[in-house]
Amino acid sequence: MSLKSTPQKFGIVAITIHWVSALAIFALITTGLRTDAAATTAAKVALLQVHIPFGIAVLLLTVIRIGWWLLADSKPRPLPASGLQNRLSGIVHVLFYVAILGLGLSGIGMLILSGAGPSIVEGSAANLPDFSEYPPRRLHGIAARLMIALLALHTVAALYHQFVIRDGLLNRMWFGAR
């Protein structure tokens, strides 16, 4: 399998970034929702100790992915589909980047404005602020909801391609030569 994409299949770099990001995003959604629902400040701190590094990792992977597409690789040719499907696919992917960048930057903004970083790193529940008091929190919540909706749409579309159209779309974004 090639590092770079071919006209028929994504390369190992793109595939790895995609699936590592996907797993980390699912961890972020889980920890983010659990943090909002946590009954104690100590539980919130423990969840944030997982949430924040995963968020930074996804932000960095996204910046690397954008750089990879702009500087080193080109995407495979689109599969035969209607013009509307191809436009919607492009819009969803751009919105993924917007949501991820918005989530990462708003998360960093909350940490900087609140000064909560050291408390979270130390595991100190005593100084954890109410993040809703900081303007980036609203953007973070909106972008998180957008991310959940995009993931649902992306997953349904991938499954539709795999099981209804049967065009091999998932094989293009999976490891191995299929």
CATH number of the domain where residue 29 is located: 1.20.950
Residue 6 lies in a domain: no
Residue 22 lies in a domain: yes
Structure confidence at residue 126 (pLDDT): 84
Structure confidence at residue 55 (pLDDT): 98
Structure confidence at residue 178 (pLDDT): 54
Q: Which domain holds residue 108?
A: 12-172
Residue 4 lies in a domain: no
Nearest to 27 by CA among 69, 63, 61, 3: 61
- Within 8 A by CB and 6+ apart from 77, the residues are 7, 8
Residue type, 31: T
Residue 58 lies in a domain: yes
For the four alpha carbons of 17, 72, 89 and 172, in that order, the dihedral sign comes to negative
For the chain, 178 residues long, give each residue's pLDDT as a single digit of tens: 899 999 999 999 999 999 999 999 999 999 999 999 999 999 999 999 999 999 999 999 999 999 999 999 999 998 887 888 889 999 999 999 999 999 999 999 999 999 999 999 999 888 899 999 999 999 999 999 999 999 999 999 999 999 999 998 899 999 986 5
Residue 1 lies in a domain: no
Residue 82 lies in a domain: yes
Residue 2 lies in a domain: no
Residue 166 lies in a domain: yes
Per the listing, tokens 């100190």 go with 124
Q: How many domains does the chain have?
A: 1
| CA distance linking residue 63 with residue 112, whole number of Å | 20
